[in-house]
Each structure stands twice: as structure tokens, then as C-alpha cells.
């Protein structure tokens, strides 16, 4: 069973995709992987509601659906955040305090590494090196590199991004 069940907001179009895929494959044999692929491609991950729906329409157990999803690494149970925050935890950044940044991010967003906030706005990942060691500690958000980041700067960065979202409406 899922180790953690964050519930992510689904857009109307996500629900529609799940309905359509379930209908398309209803009663089919050996079609679970194809159905999962279509959902992953269109929704970005396999939500819990899709697992339940596929189990119903394909007349299999939810644990069977779940074990297929977790067996194949290309399926994911969590969406990526609109803002993908990558924290470098390589040696150069680590010695300059990358852990403090990670802790602050986890605390501010109430998620762990590899997770996404329920509103699907932010996700946190940690990597070994992003090739900017001289600027450490660094984080990257959707490819934009932030240099010499201190933990106290994290709330400011997050507030900026949140404001940007609010303006975008």
C-alpha cells in the first residue's frame, strides 16, 4: 500500500482524462500498462483516484495496479511541482551549508525531498552537483540558478514565486 498519501489537486481536464482512459480500456485484458501510460502522459502522474478507477474498470485489485506503478520507474505517484526546486547536495555545496537550505525548504513547504506540495506548486529534489560549485551553495528552480543561498533567503524566494503565481491568477 502507498507509504504516504498526499492528495493532489486535480484539474478538471485531469479528471476527464482519467474517465476517458478508464472507459476506453474498460474490461480489457492486459491493458493496464497502456492505460497507465496514457494517464501519466496527460496528467503528469498517476493519482490515487486513477488507481481506484482502473482497478474497478479492469476488474483487478488496487494493490495490483499499485505494484505495477511502483515496479516501473517511469510511472510516478507524485506530480512534479510547477516550480521544481533542485538543491545541490554535492561536496562543495554540502560543506557550504546545503543541508541548512534543504531543512529550511522542507520546513517552509512541509514536504520532504522527492515530494510536491498538495497545490502542485513546489517540489524539492536533491542532486549531487549541478556544475556551479564555485557559486555554492546553489539551488536551481526550473533551470534558474540561485548562487550562495542562505537558509534565510528561502522564504523570500518562495514568497516571490508565490506572488508571481497570484499575479498570473
Binding residues for ligand FES, rule CB under 6 A, total 12
- Choose the binding region for ligand FES from 23-31, 51-59, 86-94, 109-117 (rule: CB under 6 A): 86-94
Binding status of residue 49 toward ligand FES by CB under 6 A: no
How many whole angstroms separate alpha carbon 81 and alpha carbon 25? 29
Binding flag, residue 130, ligand FES (CB under 6 A): yes
Q: What phi-psi label fits residue 120: left (phi over 0), alpha (psi between -120 and 50 degrees) or beta?
A: left
What's the Cα-to-Cα distance from 123 to each of 111, 133, 150, rounded to whole Å?
Answer: 8, 22, 19
Taking the CA of residue 148 as centre, how many other CA atoms within 13 Å lie in the half-sphere pointing to its CB?
2
Of the listed pieces 6-14, 57-65, 73-81, 84-92, which binds ligand FES according to CB under 6 A? 84-92
Candidates 47, 79, 81, 90; binder of ligand FES (CB under 6 A) is 90
Residues of this chain that bind ligand FES (CB under 6 A): 88, 90-93, 129-133, 136, 138
Amino acid at each position: 500500500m502507498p507509504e504516504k498519501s498526499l492528495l493532489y489537486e486535480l484539474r478538471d481536464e485531469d479528471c476527464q482524462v482519467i474517465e476517458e482512459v478508464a472507459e476506453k480500456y474498460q474490461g480489457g485484458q492486459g491493458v493496464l500498462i497502456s492505460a497507465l501510460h496514457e494517464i501519466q502522459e496527460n496528467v503528469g502522474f498517476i493519482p490515487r483516484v486513477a488507481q481506484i478507477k482502473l482497478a474497478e474498470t479492469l476488474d483487478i485489485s488496487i494493490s495490483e495496479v499499485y505494484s505495477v506503478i511502483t515496479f516501473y520507474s517511469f510511472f510516478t505517484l507524485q506530480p512534479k511541482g510547477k516550480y521544481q526546486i533542485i538543491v545541490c547536495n554535492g561536496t562543495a555545496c554540502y560543506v557550504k551549508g546545503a543541508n541548512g537550505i534543504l531543512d529550511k525548504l522542507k520546513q517552509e513547504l512541509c514536504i520532504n525531498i522527492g515530494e510536491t506540495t498538495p497545490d502542485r506548486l513546489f517540489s524539492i529534489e536533491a542532486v549531487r552537483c549541478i556544475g556551479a560549485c564555485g557559486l555554492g551553495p546553489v539551488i536551481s528552480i526550473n533551470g534558474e540558478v540561485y548562487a550562495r543561498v542562505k537558509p534565510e533567503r528561502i522564504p523570500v524566494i518562495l514568497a516571490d514565486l508565490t506572488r508571481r503565481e497570484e499575479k498570473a491568477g
